[in-house]
A and B are shown apart, each in its own frame.
Chain A
Amino acid sequence: MRFLPTGEQCDYARTLRSLLGAAAVPAAVRAWAAGEHGPGRALWSSLAGTGLFALAVPEAYEGLGPLPVELALGFVELGRAGVPGPVVETAAAAVLLAALGDEALSKRFLPGLASGGASATVTLPGGSPYALDADAVTHRFTVTEAGELRLAAGPGDPLSSTDPARRLYRPPADGELLAAGPEVAAAAGTALRWARLLTAAQCLGVGEALLARTVEYAKQRTQFGTPIGGFQAVKHRLADTLLALEFARPLLWAAALSLSPRDVAAAKLTAGEAAYAAALTALQLHGAVGYTEELDLSLWLRKARPLRDAWGTPSRCRAEVVAG
């Protein structure tokens, strides 16, 4: 047993981290929120260049996967950088189609998703009824409660999110029927688990970004003639934030290894709550300047709560943990 990422896995995460560190992600997020997808798309294509989306697609369809551990480690970096768009949804759509095992559908969609040439949003039973960024994607999938997989022609009705960089759409009820039956429901269950896992990973990254920025700020902001990071009340909140994130991390790794419903739910629950708590701490310790949209911090602050609830609220995840 060696419960740590391999050298190769660490290298991959590092590659993403330096790629995203060099890209102007906050500007892309702001543009995305304003409905300009250009900079976000450019970001996506450089991510696709690292093989990110191929990690969710089987080799038979021009993918590299499925490699949930690598994908989860990668999604921590996406969260840390605050990458906009339906990244989780695109990966979950690939998992859905692969799990369905329909040769024609796989051939039709998977190579595009693997290469990053296509993107997707998806709604599934057990997730939110609203499709993320349906205006910005190539494909819009929906699995209904009745087990029908449909492809919508248009984005549907727009609704605004408390995070302007998350653009929500109520999916249209019609659309091309791609498949139906119990195998669709089963594939949707698998895709939901992956979506939950990758959202958990994103949450962890969001929490880490919030903590890192707040630690930096606490060292540099002075009041009463001393850096606020020297006050015990400030130190303790930051220490607690680190504690929560560090105990969510192993749950995420275990969930990526087993992909069991219970492990995935535990990871999502802890990472989601840790990220949201990190957001509250970051806001509090920044004071009023944290409560502005001008500071880039706001890009992560506003993401934390929707991500905590996306693809399985804490309450739903808790129910999954005790369901056995």
Chain B
Amino acid sequence: MNLDHSPEVEAFRAEARDWLRSHVPARPLPSLETEEGFAAHRAWEALLHGDRWSAVSWPEEYGGRGADIERWLVFEEEYWAAGAPGRVSQNGISLLAPTLFDHATPEQRARVLPSMASGEVVWAQAWSEPESGSDLASLSSRAVRTEGGWLLHGQKTWSSRAAFADRAFGIFRTDPAAPKPHQGLTYLMFDLRAPGVTVRPIGRLDGKPAFAELFLDGVFVPDEDVIGEPGQGWRIAMSTTGNERGLTLRSPGRFLAAADRLTRLWRERGDPADTALRDRVADAVVGARAYELFTWAGASRFGEGGRIGAESSLNKVFWSQYDIALHETALDLLGPDAELASGAWAEPWLFSLAGPIYAGTNEIQRDIIAERLLGLPKGRR
């Protein structure tokens, strides 16, 4: 057992650090949930892509560096430590791309991945529906067979970044007569600007149009945009939720960097007599370290051919709770200044509050942990 990186990995780290040092914008980009910020973040993706840093773990033929999971984690550490911008392409890169690697045709990969890596096409996830949140399998949007493809009807909602994104991926009911709700579903990709699509941005708690409702009225999807076999949508979709809950959505690098910022804030503004607050700062530092080490153990297992299964639910509950605790500690340190919306911690705090909801609510994750990892009986659901 050891935690050392090889000289090659350290060289990779140094290369990433140098690149980030000379490219990360000196001033933070405007929020990516605004039109202006979205464009700025898209330009940042293009810059990253120019030197093949936008999707380091992808094969070189698609614009990546073929980095293994160890290198990817090292890159993420450097990325967040450098204070680099949030990733506008995240949905595509962390959710759709792994699905494509596992289930798409070579033609689809060649067509979709390069423009995703460059930020030219930004993807939105169209899974949830108004009546189908936690019970996603109950979804009712349909894809109806037509010549050369499918016609989409129905409504999707909470689609992050869809207000400004280009394309979306989602699951649709293709066989309403299937005996079980999660049968007869099909996974496909569609254009957010295609005829028949209406995008209605929804204001998040801070008023920014960070997600949107999609109304679909006979939207044509060619057969070439169906991922995997029709009717297999549920199985295909579920193979990516592990990515969403697990590593790729929230790598430890992000929390290590945040814990570091919090420690600095404590040293600048903390009252040494307030040991309760000091203890929470310490807990945040230890929490980031625990998440990092848990991740290294998981990555080592993964490197030896293991799969990320229900363990990803442990990740999800941990990071989402951790994120809230860390931000609340920062707000408490700021005292009356915590209320200022312009403060560096206000927006990320508000966003942290959504962590226990998206990517599968923590109530559902705890059920999964209890049933699949502890073997407890299945509850009424």
Q: Which of A's residues lie within 8 Å of B, judged by CB? A: 127-130, 159-164, 166, 168, 223-226, 230-234, 280, 283-284, 287-288, 290-294, 298, 301-302, 305-306, 309-310, 313-315, 318
Task: Known A288-B133, A292-B205, A293-B204; judge A161-B341 contact (CB<8 A).
Answer: yes
Q: Which of B's residues lie within 8 Å of A, judged by CB? A: 128, 132-135, 138, 157-158, 202-207, 211, 274, 276-277, 324, 331-332, 335-336, 338-342, 346, 349-350, 353-354, 356-358, 361-363, 366-367, 379-381
B202 surroundings in chain A (CB, below 8 A):
292, 294
A162 surroundings in chain B (CB, below 8 A):
206, 338-341, 346, 349-350
Chain B nearest Cβ from A140, distance in angstroms: 17
Q: Which among B138, B277, B324, B339 has the greatest number of chain A C-beta atoms within 10 A?
A: B339
Closest to B334 in A: A309
Query: Are A283 and B332 touching (Cβ within 8 A)?
Result: no
Taken together as a complex, chains A and B put the C-alpha atoms of A168 and B207 apart, in Å, by 18
B346 surroundings in chain A (CB, below 8 A):
162
Query: Are B336 and A315 touching (Cβ within 8 A)?
Result: no
Closest to B367 in A: A233
A163 surroundings in chain B (CB, below 8 A):
339
What secondary structure prevails in chain B residues at the interface with A? mixed
Task: Known A280-B353, A284-B356, A306-B339; judge A315-B276 contact (CB<8 A).
Answer: yes
Query: Are A223 and B336 touching (Cβ within 8 A)?
Result: no
Taken together as a complex, chains A and B put the C-alpha atoms of A163 and B204 apart, in Å, by 13
B133 surroundings in chain A (CB, below 8 A):
223, 287-288
User: Which residue in B132, B203, B353, B363 is a CB contact (below 8 Å) of A283?
Assistant: B353
Taken together as a complex, chains A and B put the C-alpha atoms of A293 and B204 apart, in Å, by 6
Query: Are A160 and B205 touching (Cβ within 8 A)?
Result: no
Chain A nearest Cβ from B297, distance in angstroms: 28
Closest to A301 in B: B205
User: Which residue in A128, A159, A231 is a CB contact (below 8 Å) of B363?
Assistant: A231
A288 surroundings in chain B (CB, below 8 A):
128, 133, 157-158, 211, 354, 357-358
Given contacts A232-B379, A288-B354, 10 further A-B contacts (CB under 8 A): A159-B342, A161-B341, A162-B350, A223-B132, A233-B366, A288-B157, A293-B205, A293-B207, A309-B336, A309-B339
B205 surroundings in chain A (CB, below 8 A):
291-293, 298, 301-302
Query: Are B335 and A223 touching (Cβ within 8 A)?
Result: no
